[in-house]
Structure 1
């Protein structure tokens, strides 16, 4: 007979996973794969011990993996994209003109603003990081700027645009699940997200001053530019490929076909413009681009991409989602969040609990979407009972869920960033300024009562009417 899984068993499961993660990743520098498997096994044992059958546990894992399938497809396509664009000279062109036009002192601010604009236009932080972000890493590293700092700037800009764009899937998800008008939701997020962006720009401006002394005519940069010109055919016309992909996504062409078109053009450029053989171009798509120029920095920048390079990312995503699937569909996560709700006695503690639940879900279920879906189910009635407008909840879900997904190396977002930008979550976390500042701002607002909107009497009456209708439609349990 199935029994409800109490919160203490959920805590035990997390304790085992976190301990395994600390031993493997922190103590021995291993990958998070094995600790996630240990967590999955523990979750399965706890679920079976509460009366579930193995077939049901398997189904929970499959459901979890199914949630991540769109992300897995995009991860694989990004591997193809990076390989094709490196081989086609697109990345080399972006780096070449970036080094020619951008000052090291203003580079970090420039990349934040550029990523924010592109992500706002296309509604996708992942597509932004896979295009502008990859080029930004190359430009910044050529200037001698630390990789973690560049990645933090890319992430801050990309997630600002993703969070504020009406084309973003997470923005639409948070608004839809809470019954909030999409543009009311976006306007309400301005109160926390714009100050977060301003703080990010100020900090990156201060950090950028450390690089004002860099001489753009130095031997290392001059050598890099020369190697790029010798190795690739560099032309502004090649920039039409990334611009075309960005325009397509902005015009609501789905990300997958847009990326496929970008891959095809990159492949054709490698064969025609760059003079590569068909065999080498195909190998680049599968195994990544290989360059032996003799310049260590340039070789490091361009030896990347390909489907094979993404398989570690795909495997971690699959394992993480099996763990997340058991937690979600067995009710383990629900039992813990219900305990968190007991401490939400005020508006400040309610918003804090919402954000904490989102962060916790990001760290345990390893998927950004689940960090919005599960807390929205758990907290919607609490906000309604307190007379708070649904846009307070939708904003808290994004402040806590969308933004903090990047801080967990085993979350699909953290995995994607490592595979795309080559920097781990542990390294870039201090520099993903927007992503940790916005949740703090949101909590402060909740406690001081700023930008917290109450429902009107008419809205309260309408909410009660809907709640009564929902209770009537619920099936009676015999």
Structure 2
């Protein structure tokens, strides 16, 4: 007979996984795969001990993996895109003109704003990081700017647009699950997100001052520009490729066909513009691009992309979601969040609990979407009982769920960033300023009562009526 799994078993499971993670990653400098597998084994044992059958545990793991399948497909396509665009000279062209036009002192602010604009237009942080972000890493590294700083600026810009765009899947998910009007949800997020992006811009402007003295005519940059011209056919026409993909996504063309078109165009450019053979172009899609220019920095910079380069990320995602699947579908996560709700006595503690639950879900279930879905189901009644408008909940879900997913190396967002930008979560975390400052701002607002909207008597009566109808419908279905 199945028993309800108490919260202490969830805590024990998580502590074992995290202890193993710290030893393997921090001490032994190994990948997080094995610790996540250890967590999966422990979670499975706990579920079996509470009356679940092995077939049910397997099904939980499969459900977890199924949740990540869209992300896995995107990850694979991004690997192919990077390979095709490097081989086709698109990335080289973006870096070449970036070095020509962007001032080192303002580079970090410039790349942040550029990523914010593109992500706001297309609603996707991943697509932004895979296009503008990859080129930005190349430009910044060529200027001698540390990779974690560049990655932090890219992430801040990309997640600002992802969070605030009406085209973003997480933005629509948070609004839809809480029953909040989409544009009302976005307007309410301005209170926390605008201060967060302004603080980020100020910090990166200050950080960028140390690079203002970099001579753009220095031997290092001059050599890089010369090697790019010798190794690739550089043309401003090649910039139309990323522009076309961005426009397609902005026009609501789904990400998969948009990226697929970008891959085909890049593959074609590799053959007909860069002079590669069909076999070389195909090998680039599979194994990534390789260059032997004689310049170590350029060779390392352009040795990337390809299907094979994403297998680490794909395997990490699959392993993480087996662990998350058991936690979610066995009820282990729900039991822990139920305790968190009990401590939410005031409005401040309720928002703190929501954000904490989203962060915890990001850490345990390794998937950004679950960090919005599960807490939304758990907290919607608590917000209504306190007479709070649903947009307070939808904002807290995004402040805690959407943004903090980047801080966990085993979360799908963390592994994607590592595979795309080549910087680990531990390295870029101090520079992902928007992502940690917005949740703090959100919690402060809740405790002082600023930008917290309460339901009017009419809205509260309607909300209670809708809740009663939902309960009746659920009862009839069961």
Note if 1:264 corresponds to 2:264.
yes
Deviation at residue 470 of structure 1 after TM alignment: 1.8
Q: 5 Å matches for 1:188-337?
A: 188-337=188-337
Deviation at residue 476 of structure 1 after TM alignment: 7.1
* Distance of 2:399 and 2:473 partners within structure 1: 32
5+ residue gaps, structure 2, are none
Deviation at residue 466 of structure 1 after TM alignment: 1.1
* Distance of 1:8 and 1:235 partners within structure 2: 60
Partner of 2:427: 427
**Partner SS state of residue 453, structure 2:** coil
Note if 1:9 corresponds to 2:6.
no
Cα offsets for 1:274-298 (capped at 9, x unmatched): 0001111000000000001110110
Deviation at residue 249 of structure 1 after TM alignment: 0.1
* Distance of 2:355 and 2:364 partners within structure 1: 14
TM-score (normalised: structure 1): 0.99
**Partner SS state of residue 475, structure 2:** coil
Q: 1:263 to 1:334 in 2, by over 3 A?
A: same
Cα offsets for 1:299-352 (capped at 9, x unmatched): 111000000000000000000000000000000000000011111110000000
TM-score (normalised: structure 2): 0.99
Partner of 1:38: 38
**Partner SS state of residue 368, structure 1:** coil
Note if 1:352 corresponds to 2:349.
no
**Partner SS state of residue 475, structure 1:** helix
**Partner SS state of residue 474, structure 1:** helix
Cα offsets for 1:387-431 (capped at 9, x unmatched): 000000000000000000000000000000000000000000000
Partner of 2:113: 113
* Distance of 1:361 and 1:193 partners within structure 2: 21
- Aligned Cα root-mean-square deviation (Å): 0.8
Cα offsets for 1:10-34 (capped at 9, x unmatched): 0010011011101100110000000
Note if 1:148 corresponds to 2:181.
no
**Partner SS state of residue 369, structure 2:** helix
Hey, which bits of structure 1, 4+ residues long, moved more than 3 A? Answer: none
Deviation at residue 477 of structure 1 after TM alignment: 11
Q: 5 Å matches for 1:72-87?
A: 72-87=72-87
Partner of 1:362: 362
Partner of 1:372: 372
Partner of 1:160: 160
Partner of 1:65: 65
Partner of 2:91: 91
* Distance of 1:464 and 1:75 partners within structure 2: 42
Deviation at residue 474 of structure 1 after TM alignment: 2.7
Note if 1:49 corresponds to 2:49.
yes
Partner of 2:403: 403
